[in-house]
Amino acid sequence: MRAATAVCGLAILACGQITVPASSSAAVPAPCRRTVFAGVAHEDDDLLFMSPDLLNDWGRGACLDIVYLTAGDAGSSGTGYAERREQGVGRAYALLAGVPNDWRRQDRKHAGRTVRAFALRVPAGRPGVRVTFLRLPDGLHDGSGTRLQGGQSLLKLEQRRIRRITTMDRSASYDAKELTAMLSWLVADSHARTVRTLDYRNIDRGSGPRSDHSDHEVAARFVKSAAASIPGPKPSVVGYRGYSINALSPNLALQAARLKESVFRRYLSTTLCARPCADYTGPLWSSYRHWMVSQYRGN
Protein backbone atom coordinates (compact mmCIF):
# COMPACT_ATOMS: atom_id res chain seq x y z
CA MET A 1 0.00 0.00 0.00
CA ARG A 2 2.84 2.43 0.83
CA ALA A 3 4.60 1.59 -2.41
CA ALA A 4 1.39 2.07 -4.38
CA THR A 5 0.89 5.44 -2.76
CA ALA A 6 4.43 6.48 -3.64
CA VAL A 7 4.11 5.48 -7.29
CA CYS A 8 0.82 7.34 -7.62
CA GLY A 9 2.16 10.40 -5.86
CA LEU A 10 5.28 10.57 -7.98
CA ALA A 11 3.29 10.36 -11.20
CA ILE A 12 1.14 13.38 -10.35
CA LEU A 13 1.98 17.05 -10.15
CA ALA A 14 1.91 18.60 -6.70
CA CYS A 15 -1.40 20.23 -5.81
CA GLY A 16 -1.95 23.94 -5.46
CA GLN A 17 0.07 26.57 -3.72
CA ILE A 18 0.72 24.92 -0.40
CA THR A 19 2.10 27.05 2.41
CA VAL A 20 3.37 24.14 4.48
CA PRO A 21 6.20 24.00 5.20
CA ALA A 22 6.40 27.79 5.35
CA SER A 23 9.69 29.64 5.28
CA SER A 24 10.00 32.00 8.20
CA SER A 25 11.92 32.38 11.42
CA ALA A 26 11.05 30.42 14.53
CA ALA A 27 7.60 30.98 15.97
CA VAL A 28 6.53 30.83 19.59
CA PRO A 29 3.93 28.07 20.07
CA ALA A 30 0.57 28.91 21.61
CA PRO A 31 0.40 28.31 25.39
CA CYS A 32 -0.97 24.84 26.11
CA ARG A 33 -2.96 23.83 29.16
CA ARG A 34 -2.09 20.25 28.24
CA THR A 35 -0.35 18.57 25.34
CA VAL A 36 -0.66 15.17 23.69
CA PHE A 37 2.49 13.89 21.98
CA ALA A 38 2.22 11.52 19.01
CA GLY A 39 5.23 9.69 17.63
CA VAL A 40 4.64 7.76 14.39
CA ALA A 41 6.60 6.34 11.49
CA HIS A 42 5.03 7.98 8.42
CA GLU A 43 3.11 11.10 7.49
CA ASP A 44 -0.44 9.74 7.74
CA ASP A 45 -0.06 7.04 10.42
CA ASP A 46 -1.56 9.44 12.96
CA LEU A 47 -4.53 10.19 10.69
CA LEU A 48 -5.10 6.54 9.80
CA PHE A 49 -4.50 4.64 13.01
CA MET A 50 -4.83 6.94 16.04
CA SER A 51 -7.76 8.98 14.86
CA PRO A 52 -10.31 9.93 16.02
CA ASP A 53 -8.47 9.86 19.39
CA LEU A 54 -6.00 12.56 18.29
CA LEU A 55 -8.72 14.62 16.66
CA ASN A 56 -10.76 14.40 19.86
CA ASP A 57 -7.72 15.39 21.95
CA TRP A 58 -7.54 18.65 20.03
CA GLY A 59 -11.31 19.11 20.21
CA ARG A 60 -11.13 18.85 24.00
CA GLY A 61 -8.51 21.57 24.19
CA ALA A 62 -5.19 19.70 24.06
CA CYS A 63 -2.30 20.94 21.95
CA LEU A 64 -0.88 18.33 19.58
CA ASP A 65 2.86 17.73 19.22
CA ILE A 66 3.40 15.22 16.43
CA VAL A 67 6.73 13.71 15.41
CA TYR A 68 7.18 11.72 12.19
CA LEU A 69 10.27 9.53 12.34
CA THR A 70 10.60 8.65 8.65
CA ALA A 71 10.20 10.66 5.48
CA GLY A 72 7.67 8.14 4.16
CA ASP A 73 9.60 8.26 0.90
CA ALA A 74 8.92 4.61 -0.07
CA GLY A 75 12.08 4.62 -2.15
CA SER A 76 11.36 7.76 -4.17
CA SER A 77 14.25 9.87 -5.39
CA GLY A 78 14.80 13.34 -3.99
CA THR A 79 12.64 14.89 -1.31
CA GLY A 80 9.69 15.98 -3.47
CA TYR A 81 7.30 13.17 -2.52
CA ALA A 82 8.25 13.37 1.16
CA GLU A 83 7.64 17.12 1.10
CA ARG A 84 4.19 16.64 -0.42
CA ARG A 85 3.34 14.26 2.40
CA GLU A 86 4.57 16.82 4.91
CA GLN A 87 2.43 19.44 3.21
CA GLY A 88 -0.51 17.05 3.34
CA VAL A 89 -0.45 16.63 7.11
CA GLY A 90 -0.13 20.39 7.43
CA ARG A 91 -3.27 20.90 5.38
CA ALA A 92 -5.08 18.17 7.34
CA TYR A 93 -4.40 19.71 10.74
CA ALA A 94 -5.26 23.20 9.52
CA LEU A 95 -8.63 21.79 8.45
CA LEU A 96 -9.10 20.17 11.87
CA ALA A 97 -8.27 23.45 13.61
CA GLY A 98 -10.54 25.46 11.31
CA VAL A 99 -7.79 27.96 10.47
CA PRO A 100 -5.87 28.94 7.30
CA ASN A 101 -3.04 26.67 6.23
CA ASP A 102 -0.46 29.04 7.74
CA TRP A 103 2.52 27.46 9.45
CA ARG A 104 5.66 29.03 10.94
CA ARG A 105 9.07 27.40 10.78
CA GLN A 106 10.10 26.37 14.29
CA ASP A 107 13.10 24.06 14.01
CA ARG A 108 14.08 22.16 17.13
CA LYS A 109 17.75 21.84 18.10
CA HIS A 110 19.27 19.24 20.39
CA ALA A 111 22.71 17.66 20.76
CA GLY A 112 24.08 19.42 17.70
CA ARG A 113 21.22 18.39 15.42
CA THR A 114 18.50 20.55 13.91
CA VAL A 115 15.15 18.91 13.19
CA ARG A 116 12.53 20.42 10.84
CA ALA A 117 9.44 21.58 12.72
CA PHE A 118 6.47 23.85 12.06
CA ALA A 119 3.81 25.42 14.27
CA LEU A 120 0.29 26.16 13.08
CA ARG A 121 -0.87 29.74 13.59
CA VAL A 122 -4.04 29.68 15.66
CA PRO A 123 -6.04 32.42 17.39
CA ALA A 124 -5.19 33.22 21.01
CA GLY A 125 -6.74 30.74 23.39
CA ARG A 126 -7.03 27.94 20.82
CA PRO A 127 -4.96 24.75 21.17
CA GLY A 128 -1.97 24.64 18.88
CA VAL A 129 -0.47 22.00 16.61
CA ARG A 130 3.24 21.39 16.02
CA VAL A 131 4.65 18.91 13.50
CA THR A 132 8.26 17.69 13.48
CA PHE A 133 9.95 15.68 10.73
CA LEU A 134 13.06 13.58 11.40
CA ARG A 135 13.13 12.37 7.77
CA LEU A 136 14.73 8.98 8.37
CA PRO A 137 14.50 6.59 5.39
CA ASP A 138 11.37 4.52 4.87
CA GLY A 139 12.34 0.92 5.67
CA LEU A 140 9.56 -0.73 3.63
CA HIS A 141 7.13 -3.33 4.96
CA ASP A 142 9.71 -6.02 5.70
CA GLY A 143 12.46 -3.70 6.93
CA SER A 144 14.75 -4.39 3.98
CA GLY A 145 15.09 -0.68 3.16
CA THR A 146 15.24 0.92 -0.26
CA ARG A 147 18.01 0.89 -2.83
CA LEU A 148 18.23 4.68 -3.03
CA GLN A 149 18.73 4.91 0.74
CA GLY A 150 21.33 2.16 0.90
CA GLY A 151 19.00 -0.41 2.44
CA GLN A 152 18.74 1.53 5.69
CA SER A 153 15.78 0.90 7.98
CA LEU A 154 14.69 1.39 11.57
CA LEU A 155 14.38 -2.38 11.89
CA LYS A 156 18.01 -2.90 10.92
CA LEU A 157 19.05 -0.21 13.39
CA GLU A 158 17.04 -1.86 16.17
CA GLN A 159 18.50 -5.28 15.34
CA ARG A 160 22.04 -3.81 15.11
CA ARG A 161 22.38 -4.89 11.51
CA ILE A 162 23.44 -1.31 10.80
CA ARG A 163 25.25 0.92 13.29
CA ARG A 164 23.77 4.23 12.17
CA ILE A 165 20.87 5.55 10.12
CA THR A 166 21.16 8.74 8.05
CA THR A 167 18.26 11.02 7.18
CA MET A 168 17.21 10.97 3.53
CA ASP A 169 18.21 14.64 3.15
CA ARG A 170 21.61 13.80 4.71
CA SER A 171 21.13 16.44 7.42
CA ALA A 172 21.84 14.12 10.37
CA SER A 173 22.60 10.55 11.38
CA TYR A 174 21.84 8.58 14.54
CA ASP A 175 22.82 5.39 16.24
CA ALA A 176 20.09 3.70 18.30
CA LYS A 177 21.11 5.43 21.52
CA GLU A 178 21.23 8.87 19.88
CA LEU A 179 17.84 8.39 18.24
CA THR A 180 16.29 7.41 21.56
CA ALA A 181 17.90 10.43 23.21
CA MET A 182 16.55 12.78 20.53
CA LEU A 183 13.04 11.35 20.88
CA SER A 184 13.28 11.52 24.67
CA TRP A 185 14.19 15.20 24.44
CA LEU A 186 11.29 15.85 22.04
CA VAL A 187 8.84 14.14 24.41
CA ALA A 188 10.20 16.07 27.40
CA ASP A 189 10.13 19.33 25.43
CA SER A 190 6.43 18.83 24.71
CA HIS A 191 5.57 18.48 28.43
CA ALA A 192 2.99 15.89 27.39
CA ARG A 193 1.42 13.59 29.94
CA THR A 194 0.05 11.31 27.19
CA VAL A 195 2.12 9.81 24.39
CA ARG A 196 0.35 8.13 21.49
CA THR A 197 2.29 5.84 19.18
CA LEU A 198 1.83 2.68 17.11
CA ASP A 199 1.79 -0.99 18.14
CA TYR A 200 5.12 -1.46 19.90
CA ARG A 201 4.26 -5.06 20.82
CA ASN A 202 3.91 -6.22 17.24
CA ILE A 203 6.76 -8.23 15.72
CA ASP A 204 4.89 -9.66 12.71
CA ARG A 205 6.01 -8.24 9.38
CA GLY A 206 4.65 -11.10 7.25
CA SER A 207 1.26 -11.63 5.63
CA GLY A 208 -0.71 -12.88 8.64
CA PRO A 209 -3.68 -11.16 10.27
CA ARG A 210 -1.43 -9.26 12.69
CA SER A 211 1.07 -8.21 10.03
CA ASP A 212 2.20 -4.60 10.08
CA HIS A 213 4.80 -2.30 8.50
CA SER A 214 8.26 -2.68 10.04
CA ASP A 215 8.57 1.09 10.48
CA HIS A 216 5.32 1.18 12.49
CA GLU A 217 6.38 -1.25 15.16
CA VAL A 218 10.03 -0.18 15.44
CA ALA A 219 9.21 3.53 15.55
CA ALA A 220 6.73 2.76 18.32
CA ARG A 221 9.34 0.89 20.35
CA PHE A 222 11.78 3.80 20.01
CA VAL A 223 9.07 6.24 21.12
CA LYS A 224 8.08 4.03 24.06
CA SER A 225 11.71 3.74 25.20
CA ALA A 226 12.14 7.49 24.80
CA ALA A 227 9.07 8.23 26.94
CA ALA A 228 10.36 5.90 29.65
CA SER A 229 13.74 7.65 29.74
CA ILE A 230 12.67 11.27 30.28
CA PRO A 231 13.56 12.72 33.69
CA GLY A 232 10.83 13.04 36.30
CA PRO A 233 7.28 11.69 36.01
CA LYS A 234 6.74 9.51 32.98
CA PRO A 235 3.88 10.07 30.52
CA SER A 236 1.41 7.31 29.83
CA VAL A 237 2.04 5.56 26.50
CA VAL A 238 -0.84 4.36 24.32
CA GLY A 239 -0.17 2.13 21.30
CA TYR A 240 -2.41 1.71 18.25
CA ARG A 241 -2.67 -1.17 15.85
CA GLY A 242 -1.77 -0.44 12.23
CA TYR A 243 -2.35 -2.57 9.12
CA SER A 244 -3.56 -5.46 11.26
CA ILE A 245 -6.90 -3.76 11.87
CA ASN A 246 -7.86 -4.99 8.40
CA ALA A 247 -8.79 -8.27 10.10
CA LEU A 248 -11.00 -6.55 12.68
CA SER A 249 -14.55 -5.26 12.50
CA PRO A 250 -15.27 -1.54 11.99
CA ASN A 251 -15.84 0.09 15.37
CA LEU A 252 -16.30 3.84 14.84
CA ALA A 253 -19.57 5.72 15.06
CA LEU A 254 -20.72 7.39 11.83
CA GLN A 255 -19.92 10.96 12.93
CA ALA A 256 -16.42 10.04 14.11
CA ALA A 257 -15.72 8.15 10.88
CA ARG A 258 -16.88 11.10 8.77
CA LEU A 259 -14.60 13.50 10.61
CA LYS A 260 -11.67 11.10 10.27
CA GLU A 261 -12.26 10.70 6.53
CA SER A 262 -12.65 14.42 5.87
CA VAL A 263 -9.32 15.18 7.56
CA PHE A 264 -7.62 12.31 5.73
CA ARG A 265 -8.97 13.39 2.35
CA ARG A 266 -7.48 16.83 2.94
CA TYR A 267 -4.13 15.11 3.58
CA LEU A 268 -4.43 13.20 0.28
CA SER A 269 -4.95 16.41 -1.68
CA THR A 270 -1.19 16.95 -2.03
CA THR A 271 -0.40 13.48 -3.40
CA LEU A 272 -3.45 12.10 -5.20
CA CYS A 273 -5.15 15.05 -6.90
CA ALA A 274 -4.42 15.21 -10.64
CA ARG A 275 -4.70 19.02 -10.53
CA PRO A 276 -4.83 21.57 -7.67
CA CYS A 277 -7.65 20.67 -5.30
CA ALA A 278 -8.88 21.43 -1.80
CA ASP A 279 -9.70 17.79 -1.04
CA TYR A 280 -9.16 14.47 -2.72
CA THR A 281 -12.66 13.32 -3.73
CA GLY A 282 -11.79 10.16 -5.65
CA PRO A 283 -12.27 6.58 -4.48
CA LEU A 284 -10.20 5.26 -1.59
CA TRP A 285 -8.39 1.94 -1.76
CA SER A 286 -10.16 -0.86 0.10
CA SER A 287 -7.75 -0.81 3.04
CA TYR A 288 -8.16 2.94 3.42
CA ARG A 289 -11.94 2.57 3.41
CA HIS A 290 -11.68 0.06 6.24
CA TRP A 291 -9.25 2.22 8.21
CA MET A 292 -11.62 5.19 7.98
CA VAL A 293 -14.19 3.33 10.09
CA SER A 294 -11.80 1.62 12.51
CA GLN A 295 -9.42 2.44 15.35
CA TYR A 296 -7.91 -0.11 17.71
CA ARG A 297 -5.54 0.35 20.57
CA GLY A 298 -2.82 -2.26 20.50
CA ASN A 299 -2.21 -2.64 24.22
Q: Between the CA of residue 294 and those of 27, 28, 61, 219, 247, what are the distances in Å?
A: 35, 35, 23, 21, 11
**Residue 298 in domain:** no
**Per-residue tens of pLDDT for the chain, all 299 residues:** 343 333 333 222 233 333 444 333 334 455 788 999 999 999 999 999 999 999 999 999 999 999 999 999 999 988 899 999 999 999 999 999 999 999 999 999 999 999 999 999 999 989 999 999 999 999 999 999 999 999 999 999 999 999 999 999 999 999 999 999 999 999 999 999 999 999 999 988 876 777 899 999 999 999 999 999 999 999 999 999 999 999 999 999 999 999 999 999 999 999 999 898 999 999 999 999 999 999 999 86
**Residue 176 in domain:** yes
Strands 129-136 and 63-70: parallel
Predicted pLDDT at 299: 61
pTM over 0.85: yes
User: What are the helix and strand counts (H, E) for the chain?
Assistant: 9, 10
Closest CA to 209 of 171, 236, 162, 247: 247
Predicted pLDDT at 211: 87
**Residue 273 in domain:** yes
Query: Cβ distance 268 to 226 under 8 Å?
Result: no
**Residue 297 in domain:** no
Query: Cβ distance 213 to 2 under 8 Å?
Result: yes
**Residue 81 in domain:** yes
For 159-193, write each residue's pLDDT tens digit: 999 999 999 999 999 999 999 999 999 999 999 99
**Residue 299 in domain:** no
Supply the range of the domain harboring residue 58.
Answer: 2-292
**Residue 33 in domain:** yes
- Please give the tally of structural domains in the chain: 1
CATH value at residue 210? 3.40.50
User: 3-class SS at 268?
Assistant: helix
